[in-house]
Structures are given as C-alpha cells and as structure tokens.
Structure 1
Amino acid sequence: VEVLCNGRRHTVAKRYSEFQALHKRIKKTCKVPDFPPRRVPNWMPKVLEQRRQGLELYMRGVLYHNEELPQEVLDFLKVRHFQQEPKAGSMA
C-alpha cells in the first residue's frame, strides 16, 4: 500500500489483518473511513489488487481527515512526524 505523507510517498507492506487491527485500535480516537471488506476468494490477483486499492483509500482517508495522528499510526507507517497536506481549495 502506498500513501503520501509529509510530501513523500511511503510504501507499507503489511497484511490485511494488521490494517484491520490498526483500524480497531484507532477508530475511537481518530476520524476513520469505513474499513474495506475482506472478499473471498482472497488469493486471486484481481481480488488482491482490489484489496490493496481499498486499503490505500482507507489510509488516505485517515491521513486526510485528521490534523494530528496518534503515534500508533505514525509507527504503522514508519513516519516520525505528520504534517497534514493542504486540502484542495484551502490557502496554504
């Protein structure tokens, strides 16, 4: 999964279950989008690509909707600090 954070592209290679566990831990303290569902059969390349895209959209939503992120999210992304990107239409 690739996300843009602090103007840099970060690649996160983790299992679906790790993203799901992160979601369960942060949903009470962060604004989070709906978590993408797990589909069966999950070993088909098309299904795996759809899952990757869903997880990318999820992580982008987490980054977009939160001005500050818990250390747990930064550690998950292997990022030291977080500076939210300016939203479209805002003056920077």
Structure 2
Amino acid sequence: MADSKHYKGSRVELEEQSHTYASFMRLFWIGALVFVASVFGLVAVLVWHWPVLGAIVAFCSAVVALGAFFRIETLAIFWGTLLTAGHIIVGWLVLVFTSMMHG
C-alpha cells in the first residue's frame, strides 16, 4: 500500500517536471522567434528604410509576447512562426530584387 502511494506521488512529480520543461521549451522557442523577428524588423527599418514593415513586426511581436505572457501558446507559436517565415521570405525577395536592380 505504501509502495503504491509512493509510486503515484513520484509519477505526479515526474509529470509536473515534464510539463514544466515542455512549457519552458515552448517559451524558449517563442522568445527565439520574437528575437529573430525583431532583428528582421530592425533591418527593415534601418537598412531597407521600410517603416511599414517595422510596424508590422512590432505588432506581430506584441501579439506573440501577449500570447506567451497569457500562456496562449498556440497563438504565440502561430504568430511567431508566421512572422519569422514571412520575414525570411520578404528578406530574400528584397535581396533578390535589389541585386537585380543594381546589376
């Protein structure tokens, strides 16, 4: 009987640790996505002189941060992934078009 209670207790602790680690990893990747998106936003504003793109980055980063803060991971991960992928694609398109225009 005592072994059964000990087993249940350790299983619950293990599940809590696993959940905590999973939450930490989700927040870590959300933070990484926001960081990458912010870098692209700064490049858009400072290098390419596109303030509209910078404003879009700021808005999406705010949504990602709010999603992470209120533990709405699906919202944060969706916007973070969309934001990062979009900026990588836009960045490559801008590089291709500027290199074509300059010869």
Instruction: Give TM-score, length-normalised by structure 2.
Output: 0.37
Q: Which has the higher helix share?
A: 2
Bigger CA radius of gyration: 2
State TM-score, norm by structure 1. Answer: 0.40
Structure 1 or 2: more strand by fraction: 1
